[in-house]
Structure 1
Amino acid sequence: MKLKPLRIAILVFCATLAVLPAAHAVEVTEAARSGPGSLNLVGGAGVATVAVDAHDDPLVAVAARLFADDVERVTGKRPAIGAQAVRGRPLVVVGTLGHNALIDELAARGALKDLDKVRGRWEATVAQMVERPFPGVERAFVIVGSDRRGAAYGLMQLSEQVGVSPWYWWADAPVRRRTALTIRSATPEVTAPEVRYRGIFVNDEDWGMHAWAKQTFEPEAGGIGPKTYEKLFELMLRLRLNTIWPAMHEVSREFHAVRENVVLADKYGIVAGASHCEPMLYNNVKWNQKERGPWNYLTNRDTIYKTWEEQATTRGGMEAMWTLGIRGIHDQGMQTPPGDMPGKLKLMGEVIQDQRSLIQQHVTTKWGPVAQVFVPYKEVLPIYDAGLALPDDVTLMWTDDNFGYLRRLSSPDERKRAGGAGVYWHLSYYGQPHSYLWINTTAPALMWEELHKAWENDARTMWMLNVGDLKPMEIGVDYFARFAWNPTAFGPDSQPAFLRSFAAEHVGGALAPAVADLLTEFYRLGTIRKPELMTRAWALALPPDEAAELGRSYAHLLEREAALAAAIPAGKRDAYTEMIGFPARVLGATGLVFMADRAAQLGDDPAAQAAEIARRRAFLEREVDAYNYTVAGGKWKGMMPGLVTAANLMAWNSQVRWPWGEPAGGSASKVTPVDAGRAWRPAAEADNRSGTAAARWTPVAGLGQSGRAVALKPAGLDASWSLTDDKAPSLDFHFETGAQGAGGELLIDFMPTFRIYPGRKLRVSVVVDGADPIAVDVPGASGQEDESGAIRKEGVQNNAVRARVPMPALAAGKHVVTIRAVDPGVVIDRVALPGRQGVI
């Protein structure tokens, strides 16, 4: 993995080594250094001065303050912040090109290199060492931003390399003290993001973040308010995330109703946007229909229009991302007569025309063309597909199916749009037909596969991640932030590299391999079934051998985690528990609850199994209590709800569908294990032939139930083949049949991806011993089914959909099944072949 940070070396502790590319040397030393290319932040001549310009954007001063705080956290000594160089003192200069007198003086003298590589770009930074920049100053480290965020990001990256994790507050990541810090920079380094808008959506916050803010962190605001948002904006600045969709459930006060929220977003350089159901930055969740009439633009246009006009006039002077279109109140469908698609098209067009008029009248172009986005989420997608005329400069934001699988991407014509395209993607979801809000078991590998596919198909303008309550989603958020900054630097093997890096930074290099291995298994088991989606029916449907293996895996996960937890140094224990230990304990213990219930339902010593369930349940209750009251001294009280035990345990919106919420007995006889006795082989074990094509089947580390599913890469529009093309990328599976010959079925487990765009399909072809190819569609991939469709309803819970391919009768002996690529976007996890399954 290559994250491409600034080409500088901070002489700090060894954990930092893992977050930098190997090409950038990092010495682990506290000794001050001198000479060309080196500048002592702390040590040698003393503590450096950080120079900012009062005429620069206030964000630069915010970043300078945070940086000074970080250096003081590490060394106990605080850099001074000023506007001028100080004789005899090391100097760090940070500012926006054209808005910092020191930088402009150096530029005019030709002392700065590569300014042409950042000038006029979006959030670009060039950082370099300058010898004898000013009288009495031996050298300066200069960070030049093309704009306010470019300057701030350069300094925040320096903070992370000093040794302060972006998660130092939100996950209590430890800071190791040092007596000296030295910057070394041989050549200038230019950085800039590849995705323009990168952000997070705090959603379904009544689950945890609201309760925590109300009870613990910000009781004076009655929930999430400016104090919480400022901490959130600081984290985003450190992660180089620039866009927020704020909390918007009924329990929260509307973001826009608290002026300080909006002011803080601007202070931290955060683009304040709004979700798919909040047009014109207005959250309608508390729309009073008795006083203001229905939220229906067809019948109550003037009142709604005035509300949007108020938003445009009060927020038009600040940088924002304006969401266009209209939905019903709080994630419901637009209020129009049922089935009236022509009426919906007409009304949506009028809504967008009126919104655009307001934007043109009231919104500043100080930040460039006004950013506008249309999100065809859920019922809005059919309206768009029916022929909605969307203005060309509006960003078209595609969405996943709420479970991580993109419904569609841009067609060739849509790829020509000036506004480009983006992606809205979920790490957490509250809604039909399944909710998952507790912990993040979504593998970074799945994020890579789907969002890299989006990148390949030109969805590059805006990426938004639904993070629920943010905790305990830290690892997923961190991966997303780094990936969205530079998608082309992340390959199919990025998950293991990232996990090792993350573990090294937060628990130390010595334990990093073991932690990364634990997380790898955690994500594999979470792919098999999220704890929120475990049910008795799922457990009973498992073939006996798979159930036994799964039970052993859950137990082993808990054993490994317990051993690791005991080895974590005290100062790193809170961070480890919040981000790694607690999620692993939840998944392992919940899995064992369901495996014990399965055994009891099948008559295997019900009394003993009931005792096991009670033991695991008590363990989970203790862990939840510890998260709220013990971890970090009770800092996160209220963030982790207790185990739900109400009567609606089996409802779609419950936390976990616990077996003790289901009626006892009677269900075991109604569930038949699926495909029991079949031997499964990971697709990654096949002979992989690329033929004459540039594309090939690419194993993705950590993807799928096997942990190494193969994706067809690249997944762009040009990657397609005919059914009969024997030069298409192919997977060859060799096997033997017995003396009597065999027929039966070939089973293929695909991941439940969708076809790239309407009009396309998602297929492979299967060839048996060189015979005519058989076309095989990925089940549920046509786009006609949403997440409630019969196939996808189970497919998204299993992260797999199964195709059954009839096999001809085969003579005894050796055979080969070939799976050829046909359409882009296919991901194959594993196969089950007939016969003895032997690899030849």
Structure 2
Amino acid sequence: MLKITFRAWSFACLLFASAITQAQNLTKNTLSLLPQYIQTNAVSGAFKISANGNTSPILVDGNDWKGVIRAANDLGDDIGKVTTVPGKVIQQSQPVTGAIIIGTIGKSKLIDNLIAAKKIDVSAVKGKWESFIVQTLGNNLVIAGSDKRGTIYGIYDVSEKIGVSPWYWWADAPVKKSNALYVKTGRYIQPSPKVKYRGIFINDESPSFTGWARANFGGVNSKAYVHMFELLLRLKANYLWPAMWGNTFNEDDPMSPVLADEYGIVMGTSHHEPMMRAQKEYTNRKNEVGPWDFTTNASGLQKFWADGLERNKNYDNLITMGMRGDGDVAMGKGDDKENIQTLKNVVSAQRDIIKKVYDKDPSEVPQLWAIFTEVQRYYDAGLNVPDDITLLFCDNNWGYIRRTGPINERKRKGGLGMYYHIDMNGGPWNDRWVNTTTVPKLREQFNLAYQTGIDRIWIVNVGDLKPKEMPIDFIMRYAWNPDAISANQTDDYMTDWAAGIFGKTYAKEIADIVSKYSKYNLMRKAEVQDPKIFSYVNFNEAERVFKLWKDLTARAEQLEKRIPAEAKDAYYQLVLYPTKASAGVAEIYLAAGRNNLYAKQGRVSANDLAKRAQELFELDKQLSLRYNDSISNKKWKNMMSDVHIGYKQWSMPKENSLPALSEVAPLPKPALGVAVEGSTDAWPGTDTKAELPQFDALDKQRYYIDIFNRGTGAFKFTANANQPWIKISKLNSGVVEKDERLYVEIDWKLAPKGKASGLIEITGGDAKVLVQVNTLNSEAPKTKQPYFGGFSGEFSIPAEKYNANISGKNARWTFLPNLGRAEGNMGIQPVTAPSATAADAPRLDYNIFLAKAGTTKVCLGILPTQDVNPARGLRIAVAIDNAEPVIIDARKGYVDTFNEYTKENLANSLVLKPLPPLGTPYALSGRRQQRRSEIFDNLRWLDVDIDVKDTGMHTIKVYMVDPEIVLERIVVNPNDKYPSYMGAPSIQHKATLGK
């Protein structure tokens, strides 16, 4: 064998000067930490991985970490997947020309000798946490890591760049085939991650994950876990909380912790399982250990904890401290003062155990304390733990963080961490079936955490892992360097993610479908669907939601036909199933809600809607069966087993069940029925007057009239207007067997000026119904800028449709694309800005036209940001024109004006007019529909009354007070007569004058 020659080294030196410049010019995407250094054609100086049927050998020192040697073998296999010729792995400490040399600094003679000979410069990574270099060195390629995981990450960086997705196993992502692979000349340095511990929590694992593991591996054991370890490492993650419902990671299979350590995974236990002991380990020996009560059984619990720690002390662990009650509930009898003292005693005892087991100061052993549920209350009351313990803050279980990093904690030795849910089994409600989390939401929340110092640990509850692949991918990549993906790059990430799995051809289309299905799920997740959520008579709301899902499903189905055969299984898992199944569940509830309404009105077509709901229910079964029993040679058997239809409380039902459906018994002969937009009544048979909502010349509305049959057979109808300016969309007569929809519009050139009314007479059989039509034909206001508003009451404004965006002294409003339900939201940049006063606050101006003076209600729709800084509140301000702004505290109440907030009391909100208590649904006036809440809606409504002096053009001004609030929508003059879930659709009117 030949050693690296001096000539080869000299050649490398000549190339080195331009290496960094070349690296900077390489293609980069949001998935990759480093630019793309792999190419498929030979250029001068490039290192050949494989070409012409020959693959370079892979050298690794046999004394290096076992995990490094294992990953080196993965690289050899990956090269074979791509080129059909795998790379042979050779364990030796002498270099070979033309080889890939892999090793860990200080652990590999291969690497240490190159450093000693000054052939490679590792000063940028040596001694750092999880960093690496990839460098061409003459006729060699060097992958050198600062530590075990750094080397492994470098190996898998090459694997991903040659065309093997981290999701090749967990989502059956196809491998990108190539005949030749080269590494461009250069030295590519990957610094340490910005978030130190980055990992997932396998939770909610029964029936799906547990059933799948049992079917494929005989149980939740090391055979299953090694695939998870590998996925984490390929995603450059390092931390795992294992399945714990009915499982004990360390005891079910003693090889699980051994292999976790060999692979390089840091192990922990969930937020309520202290000292490396699973809850099930306690329940399995409850009689032996004694009660889970430290006040009465301290000695039993301390021995239990010490035994567990002794068992795991030689592995790489991050120890959970403290305790909750048995079964992840609040401990004690509800006395906070007593519980706080008990927790202090618990942590002190646990620290003593750590000192004895590790024979070192506890400050040298990584620990965390989870500030979860009631523990948050204890923390707020002053309970704290030693400075070297990481404070693990938590979200509200549905993806909104409960605390930003407190200023007084940001310098603590243990740092700050975050426990976050993209899957939830528990209160406020389950969210565990398919993915319901969008990348823009993740980016907004994790950026808020990171920018405020929460960067030591990010641990994410991912349920069964599948089908949460996309958000897992984003969070793990984002955690390495949150500064690398801005709010404006979330679409880029989605496209890059899709391209990394399916290739570039369909990447944008796939990215858009996946983005939209998760976005639509955020409107109302499957587990909290209800037939009464969306309005069936106002603003065509239910029809609009139905159309969104229908169009998206059609796109996903059409694209499936074009997807290459080798990618179809991945496409079903990541795109088609979650899209089509989510749409099916949404339509089940829409069909049920319309069925209930139509049955109340006596429509025979109600029965068709019940049948449709039943067909969709069966389709849902078939979609899950295909996932479990057909794709990927039944690899994912049982994985899609979660019950997801028919929730009545937070916990999973025993089986899927349809919402209540009604059946109509048709009358023995055909009978006329009429329903109109804006009302749930039907005529004849209702005492109220049949009346369409008002038409006005500014908005030029179109409203519908439904003519329907209440009996068997069919009937002829006629529909005639008594005014020539009332236009009916279809012929004035026809035949109705079930339903016929007519649309009514106004010919504004013929309509009288001012207010006018007319009638539409509808006859069928022996019945007749008169429908009132009211119009307002007034001229549009004269304005040089676009505006919202009109003559007909309620109107809404998307936050991003402002007329002016005025920067403040320390912050500005910025557009956050695709966040929320519509095109995006407006948030604050930077999120760490200080609270503002009227003089220095950033402001958004919206031009509006108001047809009435007096008290006007303005409803601000904001993201349900939690009480992240309880001492200060969570505030935003609103004004009309030049009036004094009114401050609204989203979590406490509101005060009258900015003047009541001096700079001295900005830190402590004065609550003069309290909002409903915490937990009360925030909603637009008149819109408190069944099971509505800010968490389920992913939107919180803040109402404020403003005094409008006169009619005409005005400006609504929205001021930042606290930087964490994100504005989605403004609704003005909410009309209780026409309630809806999302408010009136927005209509922006064009300017009528030149600028």
TM-score of the superposition, structure 2-length normalised? Answer: 0.76
CA positional deviation for 1:236: 0.6
Structure 1 unaligned blocks of 5 or more = 1-5, 132-138, 670-675
- After superposition, the Cα gap between the structure-2 partners of 1:655 and 1:91, relative to the gap in structure 1 and judged at 3 Å, is farther
Q: Distance in 2 between matches of 1:654 and 1:47?
A: 52
Aligned position for 1:232: 228
Q: Distance in 1 between matches of 2:551 and 2:59?
A: 53
1:653 aligns to 2:765 (yes or no): no
Aligned position for 2:317: 320
Aligned position for 1:297: 294
Q: Distance in 1 between matches of 2:60 and 2:915?
A: 55
Are 2:363 and 2:389, in contact at CA under 8 Å, matched by a contact in 1?
no
| Residue identity matched to 1:817 | I
Aligned position for 1:672: none
| Residue identity matched to 2:124 | K
CA positional deviation for 1:651: 2.8
Q: Distance in 1 between matches of 2:208 and 2:77?
A: 29
Are 2:430 and 2:650, in contact at CA under 8 Å, matched by a contact in 1?
yes
Q: 82-91 or 346-355, which moves further after superposition?
A: 82-91
Q: 562-571 or 233-242, which moves further after superposition?
A: 562-571
Percent identity, aligned pairs only, is 29
In the TM superposition, what whole-angstrom CA distance separates every residue of 1:808-838 from its partner, at most 9, and x where no partner exists?
Answer: 1342322111101001210111112359864
In the TM superposition, what whole-angstrom CA distance separates every residue of 1:777-804 from its partner, at most 9, and x where no partner exists?
Answer: 2257999999955449711111001111
Q: Distance in 1 between matches of 2:798 and 2:810?
A: 23
Are 2:196 and 2:455, in contact at CA under 8 Å, matched by a contact in 1?
yes
Q: Distance in 1 between matches of 2:569 and 2:363?
A: 43
Which residue of the other structure, out of 74, 83, 90, is the alignment partner of 2:98? 90
CA positional deviation for 1:26: 6.2
Aligned position for 1:709: 825
Structure 1 SS opposite 2:275:
helix
| Residue identity matched to 1:821 | M
Which residue of the other structure, out of 858, 862, 868, is the alignment partner of 1:750? 862
Are 1:629 and 1:637, in contact at CA under 8 Å, matched by a contact in 2?
yes
Aligned position for 1:70: 78
CA positional deviation for 1:484: 0.7
Q: Distance in 1 between matches of 2:127 and 2:529?
A: 51
Structure 2 unaligned blocks of 5 or more = 1-18, 665-679, 682-791, 894-908, 924-931, 975-986
1:732 aligns to 2:845 (yes or no): yes
Aligned position for 1:764: 876
In the TM superposition, what whole-angstrom CA distance separates every residue of 1:262-316 from its partner, at most 9, and x where no partner exists?
Answer: 0011011000001111000111235243443211111111111111110121111
In the TM superposition, what whole-angstrom CA distance separates every residue of 1:179-231 from its partner, at most 9, and x where no partner exists?
Answer: 211111323323321100000000010131001111x2112xxx211111111
Aligned position for 1:3: none
1:199 aligns to 2:194 (yes or no): no
| Residue identity matched to 1:825 | E
| Residue identity matched to 2:229 | F
1:505 aligns to 2:644 (yes or no): no
Q: Distance in 2 between matches of 1:225 and 1:188?
A: 37
- After superposition, the Cα gap between the structure-2 partners of 1:466 and 1:506, relative to the gap in structure 1 and judged at 3 Å, is same
TM-score of the superposition, structure 1-length normalised? Answer: 0.90
CA RMSD of aligned residues (A): 3.0
Which residue of the other structure, out of 580, 590, 594, is the alignment partner of 1:595? 590
1:435 aligns to 2:430 (yes or no): yes
Q: Distance in 1 between matches of 2:856 and 2:275?
A: 57
Aligned position for 2:812: 696
Aligned position for 1:612: 612
Structure 1 SS opposite 2:514:
helix
Q: Distance in 2 between matches of 1:141 and 1:88?
A: 11
Are 2:817 and 2:824, in contact at CA under 8 Å, matched by a contact in 1?
yes
Are 1:319 and 1:367, in contact at CA under 8 Å, matched by a contact in 2?
no
Structure 2 SS opposite 1:685:
coil
CA positional deviation for 1:342: 2.1
CA positional deviation for 1:524: 2.2
Are 1:768 and 1:818, in contact at CA under 8 Å, matched by a contact in 2?
yes
Q: Distance in 2 between matches of 1:839 and 1:653?
A: 49
Structure 2 SS opposite 1:300:
helix
In the TM superposition, what whole-angstrom CA distance separates every residue of 1:603-630 from its partner, at most 9, and x where no partner exists?
Answer: 1631121122122112211101100111
- After superposition, the Cα gap between the structure-2 partners of 1:187 and 1:28, relative to the gap in structure 1 and judged at 3 Å, is closer
- After superposition, the Cα gap between the structure-2 partners of 1:837 and 1:41, relative to the gap in structure 1 and judged at 3 Å, is closer
In the TM superposition, what whole-angstrom CA distance separates every residue of 1:376-413 from its partner, at most 9, and x where no partner exists?
Answer: 11111112222213100000011000001111123221
1:218 aligns to 2:217 (yes or no): yes
Are 2:416 and 2:454, in contact at CA under 8 Å, matched by a contact in 1?
yes
In the TM superposition, what whole-angstrom CA distance separates every residue of 1:523-567 from its partner, at most 9, and x where no partner exists?
Answer: 221121112221123235994422221111111111111111122
Structure 2 SS opposite 1:616:
helix
CA positional deviation for 1:644: 6.3
Are 2:58 and 2:99, in contact at CA under 8 Å, matched by a contact in 1?
yes
Which residue of the other structure, out of 834, 837, 841, is the alignment partner of 1:719? 834
Are 1:406 and 1:450, in contact at CA under 8 Å, matched by a contact in 2?
yes
- After superposition, the Cα gap between the structure-2 partners of 1:99 and 1:643, relative to the gap in structure 1 and judged at 3 Å, is closer
CA positional deviation for 1:161: 0.4
| Residue identity matched to 2:880 | V
- Summarize the alignment of residues 73-472 of structure 1 with structure 2, pairs less than 5 Å apart: 73-84=81-92, 89-113=97-121, 115-131=122-138, 139-214=139-214, 216-219=215-218, 223-250=219-246, 252-285=247-280, 286-287=282-283, 288-334=285-331, 336-338=332-334, 340-363=335-358, 369-472=364-467
Aligned position for 1:629: 629
Q: Distance in 2 between matches of 1:410 and 1:225?
A: 37
Are 2:811 and 2:829, in contact at CA under 8 Å, matched by a contact in 1?
yes
Structure 2 SS opposite 1:587:
helix
Q: Distance in 2 between matches of 1:161 and 1:627?
A: 29
CA positional deviation for 1:661: 4.0
- Structure with higher RCO (Cα < 8 A, 6+ apart): 1
In the TM superposition, what whole-angstrom CA distance separates every residue of 1:69-105 from its partner, at most 9, and x where no partner exists?
Answer: 1111111112121244888752111211111112112
Q: Distance in 2 between matches of 1:708 and 1:82?
A: 53
- After superposition, the Cα gap between the structure-2 partners of 1:309 and 1:688, relative to the gap in structure 1 and judged at 3 Å, is farther
Could you say which structure has the larger radius of gyration? 2
- After superposition, the Cα gap between the structure-2 partners of 1:485 and 1:784, relative to the gap in structure 1 and judged at 3 Å, is farther
| Residue identity matched to 1:622 | Q
Structure 1 SS opposite 2:187:
coil
Q: 791-800 or 294-303, which moves further after superposition?
A: 791-800
- After superposition, the Cα gap between the structure-2 partners of 1:819 and 1:530, relative to the gap in structure 1 and judged at 3 Å, is same
State the aligned residue count: 801
Q: Distance in 1 between matches of 2:207 and 2:359?
A: 36
Are 1:532 and 1:657, in contact at CA under 8 Å, matched by a contact in 2?
no
| Residue identity matched to 1:106 | L
Q: Name whichever structure is richer in strand by fraction.
A: 2
Q: Name whichever structure is richer in helix by fraction.
A: 1
Are 2:39 and 2:183, in contact at CA under 8 Å, matched by a contact in 1?
no
Aligned position for 2:800: 684
In the TM superposition, what whole-angstrom CA distance separates every residue of 1:146-204 from its partner, at most 9, and x where no partner exists?
Answer: 11111110111110001001110111011133221111132332332110000000001
Q: 416-425 or 770-779, which moves further after superposition?
A: 770-779
In the TM superposition, what whole-angstrom CA distance separates every residue of 1:109-156 from its partner, at most 9, and x where no partner exists?
Answer: 22113x22112211011221112xxxxxxx211111111111110111
| Residue identity matched to 1:385 | D
Structure 1 SS opposite 2:126:
coil
Are 1:644 and 1:656, in contact at CA under 8 Å, matched by a contact in 2?
no
Structure 1 SS opposite 2:397:
coil
- After superposition, the Cα gap between the structure-2 partners of 1:788 and 1:775, relative to the gap in structure 1 and judged at 3 Å, is closer
Are 1:426 and 1:466, in contact at CA under 8 Å, matched by a contact in 2?
yes
CA positional deviation for 1:19: 5.9
CA positional deviation for 1:46: 2.9
Are 1:779 and 1:802, in contact at CA under 8 Å, matched by a contact in 2?
no
CA positional deviation for 1:107: 1.1
- After superposition, the Cα gap between the structure-2 partners of 1:328 and 1:595, relative to the gap in structure 1 and judged at 3 Å, is same
Q: Distance in 2 between matches of 1:614 and 1:254?
A: 41
Are 2:550 and 2:583, in contact at CA under 8 Å, matched by a contact in 1?
yes
- After superposition, the Cα gap between the structure-2 partners of 1:614 and 1:8, relative to the gap in structure 1 and judged at 3 Å, is farther
Are 1:650 and 1:662, in contact at CA under 8 Å, matched by a contact in 2?
no
